[in-house]
A = this chain, B = another copy of it.
């Protein structure tokens, strides 16, 4: 029977009871507004773990002052329905006051990996992410936590934090899920008009073309990035935060693509910021096999 709880104490009781009976615990940390991408993470956790928790928390500390914290979609009832359908055992839906009873003074910072890509465009964002993930790992004490490759930099940064701070938890990174029309699933897709959504399909198209180019043997990073830029421009996407071609483990820019490489982009369509990425030359393993540990 699925429970929804709002306090840290209730989660600790649930988790302790699960461990006491020898169950493995899986955690899917989310900001709610669950879509097929989240559901794929939950299914992965459900396959591997005997007790599955999903956290629903729109974490204020990872939003910048001009970002969409207030507008971010929230729908607990729909999220409960999705979790029940996927066989989740526990939903943890805390208030901000439960998570931050006093103004937060402790920050977990990962240097290096956070400085480029989204980190360069969202100051403080990854400190907010790593700090809240550290809290959630301490609250739930899971054996494994599940993240999507869609937020590739987030997943890599969290994996680095978990390794550096010796959290016992395993970080599992799952493939991006695409809607039938080719748009990567995202809670922020709800902001798009039909016309904006058609333009947004340019992201996936540009990445699929980049994959083809690499398969054909083109290895010049700048040429690949430029082709992506042209494709996005042809789709009417001019506002580009970044198009980056980086080492998939270190997130350092590469000139030539000759090992597992992350091709990542962030654009703005209207007021909506969208991201997507692909990993090339990785034998199809994505981030699963490019561990930085």
Q: Does A105 contact B (CB under 8 A)?
A: yes
- With A135-B165, A165-B131, A167-B138 in contact, do A160 and B105 touch (Cβ < 8 Å)? yes
Cα distance, A111 to B61, chains bound together (Å): 15
Q: Which of B19, B106, B113, B161 contacts A110 (CB 8 A)?
A: B106
Question: How far does the alpha carbon of A111 sit from the alpha carbon of B124 in the complex, in Å?
Answer: 15
Chain B contacts for A195, CB-based, 8 A = none
Q: Is there a chain B Cβ closer than 8 Å to A192's Cβ?
A: no
A139-B110 CB under 8 A given contacts A105-B160, A160-B105? no
Which A75-118 residues have a C-beta within 8 angstroms of B? 102, 104-113
In the complex, 19 of the A-B residue pairs with CB atoms within 8 angstroms, ordered by the A residue number, are: A8-B166, A12-B168, A19-B19, A102-B163, A105-B110, A105-B111, A105-B160, A105-B164, A106-B110, A106-B111, A106-B130, A106-B160, A106-B164, A106-B165, A107-B111, A108-B108, A108-B109, A138-B165, A138-B168
Query: Interface of A with B (CB < 8 Å)?
Result: 8, 12, 19, 102, 104-113, 130-131, 134-135, 138-139, 141, 160-161, 163-168
Known: A8-B166, A109-B109. 9 other contacts (CB 8 A): A12-B168, A105-B164, A106-B109, A106-B130, A106-B160, A106-B161, A106-B165, A131-B165, A138-B165
